[in-house]
Structure 1
């Protein structure tokens, strides 16, 4: 039995097409996301990476296609869609909203509590523990707008972590952060994977794919390839993905 037949998938995307106005951004995309993997979504600017995540999360309405969240037979009492966390691009967030760091992280608990029930001491304790995990425990009472870009990214990562989700989608979590913050985030993502969580990350740095991830999806309007990094992250697939950009990888045209 080969690797693919042994895999358990958490999301299946079939025939997905998304367009802005009349311009297709994703075209006829088929993709299976395996459980317990740390997956990079890689492609040139405008390839549809963020659009793919937003369509899966129902933040964008596709022209056509089907997105299926696969329920674990042993866990039929809960809705898997309620166990999905999302970290958006920092540029898509209103940082002037008057909230403290702790308030922002506690927002991640509402999916578990419901919007009527207020967070209790246990929720606050979880939020503070998570802030400590991302190195932001000393900033809990600080206004979110007063933080640096890297600090804000850590806070939004903490908000996702307190959801105690099974599937995490992160849209360029390393964008605009320093090297120290990037390394800290990578360790947290790998820890999630070690817990059996599924983590899908829109990523732009080709040089770190093999170091950070064990699964990769290469996309440019369509899915070029998706699978284990050591099987699909090679020059030929990269050439197909970046063929119109003239981009270089390790000194070689792709």
Structure 2
């Protein structure tokens, strides 16, 4: 697969998603350029997580299409797409060690019935080292703090060696040190030419962390470079708010 032949990593066209006949996303058109570190922001209930899941094929839309590089769908590119779900959606009581969890990131290449290779074990340990969790390799995942668990899931995703990464609020519930470590990794992925899409809630850090932003509230309000679209007018449209709070973040 040649990931350098198109300008866009993801194209969403006329996407509508509904729960119990109530639209959660409506007529979404969105193009995500390759090699961007993009925040998806909007109020609670705006459809941010739904958008991520629809792009990943985890939800069936009422209408519309999602195309990846070279017009491929998510099934064709599953080994090239990494996903970090919200920490609250993960069963942390699952009996697995930290190293086991990270090795799961290599299963797309290995297949479920093939034995783990030495190279994959080394890759898993390297990714744990990147997130500062190497010394916890033999620890049960359930014994870790929330921030540590989030680092492990990030390591698992890095072990996939994907081209496009989706992360659903990776900073939620983590300490300042973990947040800083995650930001450095996201920027490193961008420097490698990867595309990273992050559901994000902290407006104060958008300009520091990201270079591209999509503002949504059931519909797309604006999408583009942070310098171009992350301003008070678009934030008012997105949050339907007075400028009182917004003046403190833009």
Q: SS at 1:107's partner residue?
A: helix
SS at match of 1:33: strand
Aligned to 1:18: 17
Alignment correspondent of 1:4: none
Query: Is contact 1:44–1:245 with CA below 8 Å preserved after alignment?
Result: no
Query: Which stretches in structure 1 are left out of the alignment for 5+ residues?
Result: 1-6
Distance 1:247 1:139 in 2: 45
CA distance in 2, matches of 1:100, 1:153: 14
The number of aligned residues is 243
Give, in whole Å, the separation in 2 of the partners of 1:173 and 1:247.
27
CA displacement 1:136-158 (0-9 Å, x = unmatched): 00000000000000000000000
* 1:68-83 map, 5 Å: 68-71=67-70, 79-83=76-80
Structure 2: gaps spanning 5 or more residues: 1-5
1:229-252 Cα offsets, whole Å, 9 max, x none, are: 000000110000000698712348
- Maintained 8 Å contact 1:69/1:81: no
Give 3-state SS (helix, strand or coil) of 1:85's partner.
strand
Residue 225 of structure 1 aligns with which residue?
A: 222
Please give the TM-score of this superposition, normalised by the length of structure 1.
0.92
Question: Residue 71 of structure 1: SS of its match in structure 2?
Answer: helix
* Equivalent-residue separation in structure 1 for 2:115 and 2:235 (angstroms): 48
Match of 1:141 in 2: 138
2:101 aligned with 1:88:
no
Please point out which of 179, 184, 193 is paired with 2:181. Answer: 184
| Equivalent residue for 1:161, pick from 141, 158, 163 | 158
TM-score, with normalisation over the residues of structure 2? 0.93
Per the alignment, residue 35 of structure 1 pairs with 34
Aligned to 2:210: 213
Aligned to 2:61, what secondary structure does the other structure show?
A: coil
Secondary structure of 1:173's partner?
coil
CA distance in 1: counterparts of 2:19 and 2:242, whole angstroms: 21
Q: Where does residue 53 of structure 1 map in the other structure?
A: 52
Shift of 1:221: 0.2
Summarize the Cα distance change of 1:17–1:72 in structure 2 as closer, same or farther, 3 Å threshold: closer
Shift of 1:132: 0.5
Structure-2 separation of matches of 1:247 and 1:171: 27
- Are the structure 2 counterparts of residues 235 and 107 from structure 1 closer, same or farther at C-alpha, using a change threshold of 3 Å? same
Aligned mates of 1:189, 1:235 — CA distance in 2:
26
Q: CA deviation at 1:135?
A: 0.1
